[in-house]
Amino acid sequence: MYSKILVALDYAPGARRIFEAALGMARVHAARLKLLHVLTYEDEAYLPGPVIEQDSLGKLIGAVELERYLELRLTLHNAGLKRLTALVEEARAAGIEATFAQPFGSPEEAICKVAKEWNADLIVLGRRGRSGLSELFLGSVSNHVVHRASCAVLIFHPTAVACSTQATAKVKLT
């Protein structure tokens, strides 16, 4: 039923279990996986970006501080690539064809864009469990994806991921 599964991963505690669930689904459906990690200022692990030009920022905060900031961003970028490469190798060792992408931008927009461009049949992602005012002000990546994706979406709730990779999930079928 599914031949291309896009797996959106962040640094949340349940990301490993989401990967394992997607790997199992790929095995069952003989599907390919594309692992996606979006570098974004919204990610707690990523450094906020400068709001002014780098040339001006260097003059404002100093060349040494700017260089350190850029080194830290590069370190986080490379850590993401290393993590994705290891997961792709793990999937391939399990007999699953897998690739990855690590664009920079808005997670919800990047997930939908990559899914559409890659012609994904299914998007697998987790949700943080925000509700009320925090969801209103901070938004919900999973909600955006469910309403704008060009394919089916499987969302793992944080408690479901913590309990089991086969636990309850919300599915949007198209």
Percent of the chain with pLDDT over 90: 48
pLDDT tens digits for range 31-44: 999 999 998 865 55
Q: What is the pLDDT of residue 138?
A: 41
- Rg of the chain over Cα atoms, rounded to whole angstroms, equals 17
Strands 122-126 and 98-101: unpaired
Does a structural domain hold residue 141?
Answer: yes
Q: Which class for 66: exposed (0-12), middle (13-18), buried (19 or more C-beta within 10 A)?
A: middle
Task: Specify the residue for token string 């990855």.
Answer: 100
DSSP letter for 150, please. Answer: S
Task: Give the whole-angstrom CA distance, residue 27 versus residue 94.
Answer: 8
Q: Domain total for the chain? A: 1
Does a structural domain hold residue 142?
Answer: yes
Does a structural domain hold residue 54?
Answer: no
Task: Give the whole-angstrom CA distance, residue 150 versus residue 72.
Answer: 35
Does a structural domain hold residue 81?
Answer: no
pLDDT tens digits for range 117-146: 999 999 999 876 555 544 444 457 888 898
Q: What is the pLDDT of residue 49?
A: 53
Residue-range definition of the domain harbouring residue 102: 4-45+87-172
- Spatial neighbors of 85 by CB under 8 A, at least 6 apart, are 100
Q: With 60 as the cut, is the pLDDT of residue 161 above it?
A: no
Is 8:123 a contact under the CB 8 Å cutoff?
A: yes
Lowest mean pLDDT among 17-31, 68-82, 87-101: 68-82
Does a structural domain hold residue 38?
Answer: yes
Q: What is the CATH number of the domain that holds 168?
A: 3.40.50.620
Which tokens hold the place of 156?
């793992």
Residue 154 has a CB neighbour count (10 Å cut-off) of 22
